[in-house]
Amino acid sequence: MRVALEFFPVLEEWPLLLTGIAWTLLLTAASTFFGLLLGTVCAYLRTQGPEWCRPFIVGYVELIRNTPFIVQLFFIFFALPAAGIRLSAEVASVLAMVINLGAYSADIVRAGIQATPRGQIEAALSLSLTHRQVFTRVVLPPALQRVWPALVSQIIIVMLGSAVCGQISTEELSYAANLIQSRNFRAFEAFIVATVLYLVLSVFVRHFFQWFGRRFVFGASRG
């Protein structure tokens, strides 16, 4: 069997591909921002919050980490309307990704927080900082720095996971590829192009967040 590759019919649809890339990046950006925020708050509550809220955090993290992303997405998009909560495909996608990244990053950030030497917290308390100041100024920046590579990997995983959001008609990259191959039947080429684009996006996003972390997240840049 011979396959003659014809990329032109796929590349011809570049506006669709571009829209797909834009949506994938947009979903990733939004879910990274809110997901890491959610994860950090959960990590704080889990490690330093009141006793009663810890089981809720553990429950949330375990629920999300032990169920498939696509089920979480379908639940938000198809099941919630039954409860009267109707969301657009895009909002449902972001929400599912935020909840998903929030759970994974809660555990990652918690590991970083728990690796904080006790003495640093005591030193900060001795300097009259409030507990919240100790957390935001002393504990969190080095904690995020410690686990940043793991967080960036998780962000990439969530970005690649966003391919599933095409299933509820969010027009991200895999949705675009699927649409293109259904128009011109160039399935092989369409998914090769999508694969290459995902690869490039991943490398780009990884480098971006490595730079972003050094520049903005851990405070002062070093050496």
Partner 1 sequence: MSTVVDSTTAIDIQGLYKSFGQVRVLNGIDLKIAAGEVIAIIGKSGSGKSTLLRCINGLESFDSGQLFVQGQPLQYHNAKAMRTLRQQVGMIFQSFNLFPHLTVGQNIMLAPTLVQGISAQNAKTRALELLRRVGLAEKIDAFPEQLSGGQQQRVAIARALAMSPSVLLCDEITSALDPELVGEVLAVVESLARDGMTLLMVTHEMGFARKVSDRVIFMHQGRVHEQGAPETLFQYPRTPELVQFLSSLTS
Residues 72/96, Cβ–Cβ less than 8 Å: yes
Nearer to partner 1, 127 or 199 (CB): 127
Nearer to partner 1, 123 or 199 (CB): 123
Nearest distance in Å: CB 119, partner 1 = 4
What tokens were used for 166?
Answer: 């095409």
Between the alpha carbon of residue 91 and those of residues 17, 23, 82, 151, 175, the distances in Å are 21, 12, 17, 23, 16
SS3 12: coil
Nearest distance in Å: CB 133, partner 1 = 6
Residues that bind partner 1 (CB under 8 A): 117, 119-120, 122-131, 133, 137-138, 141-142, 145, 218-220, 222-223
Nearest distance in Å: CB 128, partner 1 = 4
Nearer to partner 1, 18 or 127 (CB): 127
Nearer to partner 1, 157 or 217 (CB): 217
Match 């900060």 to its residue by tokens: 124
Nearest distance in Å: CB 207, partner 1 = 22
Between the alpha carbon of residue 119 and those of residues 110, 135, 147, the distances in Å are 18, 13, 20
